[in-house]
């Protein structure tokens, strides 16, 4: 059997086309969705992510601004900037690009973002709402994975889902979203005993580990939907996922590639969250 390829690039493009219309309609009602990205760190990858976010905003008509803070920035200055954006009516979404400079307090900074402007879904209030099954901005990567599963028509209700990884930004929210979709969910992590025996039970298998080609074909049930969140840079500079794609594609029912799977969806969901925040501001 050869798996159906789940094309995240194409899905993200379709989402952007829909958003462009929504943004135009909002502008007619007097609300121009705005996103502020705060870059207060020196990670080279962050520069690329921020540039990609700017480009994506431009494509759908969201006004984006990037606030670049120097390494000398103090925690007080960062918090003051967040507060300025919290009260700016032209800004509907605030994103603090992680990681931030080591001398800054990330947790305090994330807490300072108003939950209704927290388009990354990292604020404890929004994480708590997800846990309670209430509507709130959801972390973009797991939200993107769910969107891919739905668009591919993967049956979810009553199915066994296994998530490998328990981070606050991917594994945990992913598990909550699958639970909300009526899956029977198991969360696995580095201490899980006999991981393959658990993953082989999965109708839906999500890998969010950060280890190149960790999920091998013998860990996958025939016909399963395999979602690969991992982004691993290899020594030759190329990128691969957490799933041994070539081997698993021959066994799975559906599979996401890396690159071109979950990655493009993360930014698409950031745009969705920003437009949703703008809509909420209009109705407030």
One residue of 112, 209, 268, 275 binding ligand NAD per CB under 6 A: 209
Catalytic one of 118, 120, 228, 244:
120
**Contact string 265-284 vs ligand NAD (x = CB under 6 A):** -x------------------
Catalytic one of 53, 159, 221, 251:
53
Alpha-carbon span 212 to 215, nearest angstrom = 8
Q: Which helix (H) or strand (E) holds 262?
A: helix 262-283
Point out which span in 112-120, 129-137, 150-158, 188-196 binds ligand NAD (CB under 6 A). Answer: 188-196
Q: What is the DSSP pairing of strand 160-164 with strand 93-97?
A: unpaired
Nearer to ligand NAD, 26 or 272 (CB): 272
Q: Please tell me the total number of residues recorded for the chain in this structure.
A: 284
Point out which span in 15-23, 151-159, 182-190, 268-276 binds ligand NAD (CB under 6 A). Answer: 182-190
Nearer to ligand NAD, 26 or 139 (CB): 139
Give the three-class secondary structure for 161.
Answer: strand
Q: What is the DSSP letter of 116?
A: G
Point out which span in 21-29, 52-60, 154-162, 169-177 binds ligand NAD (CB under 6 A). Answer: 169-177
Q: Does 142 bind ligand NAD (CB under 6 A)?
A: no
One residue of 190, 197, 218, 222 binding ligand NAD per CB under 6 A: 190
Cα 243-167-85 angle, rounded to 5 deg: 120
Q: Which helix (H) or strand (E) holds 221?
A: none
Q: Which residues pair with 196 in a beta bridge?
A: none
Exposed/middle/buried for residue 48 (C-beta within 10 Å: 0-12, 13-18, 19+): exposed
Nearer to ligand NAD, 216 or 232 (CB): 232
One residue of 78, 262, 269, 277 binding ligand NAD per CB under 6 A: 262
- The tokens describing 214, both together, are 């960790």
Q: Which helix (H) or strand (E) holds 61?
A: none
**Is 53 annotated in the active site?**
yes
- The residues annotated as belonging to the active site are 53, 97, 120
């Amino acid at each position: 059997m050869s798996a159906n390829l789940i094309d995240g690039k194409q899905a993200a493009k379709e989402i952007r086309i829909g958003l462009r219309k929504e943004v135009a309609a909002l502008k007619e009602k007097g609300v121009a969705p705005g996103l502020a990205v705060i870059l207060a760190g020196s990670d080279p990858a962050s520069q690329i992510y921020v540039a990609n976010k700017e480009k994506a905003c431009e494509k759908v008509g969201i006004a984006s601004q990037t606030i670049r803070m120097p390494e000398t920035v103090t925690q007080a200055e960062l918090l003051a900037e967040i507060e300025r954006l919290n009260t700016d009516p032209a800004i509907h979404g605030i994103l603090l690009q992680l990681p931030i400079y080591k001398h800054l307090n990330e947790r305090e900074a994330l807490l300072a973002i108003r939950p209704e402007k927290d388009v990354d879904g990292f604020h404890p209030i929004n994480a708590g709402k997800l846990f309670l099954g209430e509507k709130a901005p959801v972390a973009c990567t797991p939200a993107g994975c769910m969107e891919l599963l739905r668009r591919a028509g993967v049956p979810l209700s009553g199915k066994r889902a296994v998530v490998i990884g328990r981070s606050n930004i991917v594994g945990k929210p992913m598990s909550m979203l699958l639970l909300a979709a009526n899956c029977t969910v198991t969360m696995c992590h580095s201490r899980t005993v006999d991981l393959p025996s658990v993953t082989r039970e999965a109708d839906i298998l999500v890998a969010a580990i950060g280890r190149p080609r960790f999920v091998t074909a013998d860990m996958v049930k025939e016909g399963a939907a395999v979602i690969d969140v991992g982004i691993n840079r290899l020594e030759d500079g190329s990128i691969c996922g957490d799933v041994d794609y070539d081997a698993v594609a021959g066994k799975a029912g559906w599979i996401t590639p890396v690159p071109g799977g979950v990655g493009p969806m993360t930014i698409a969901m950031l745009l969705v969250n920003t437009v949703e925040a703008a809509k909420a501001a209009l109705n407030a």
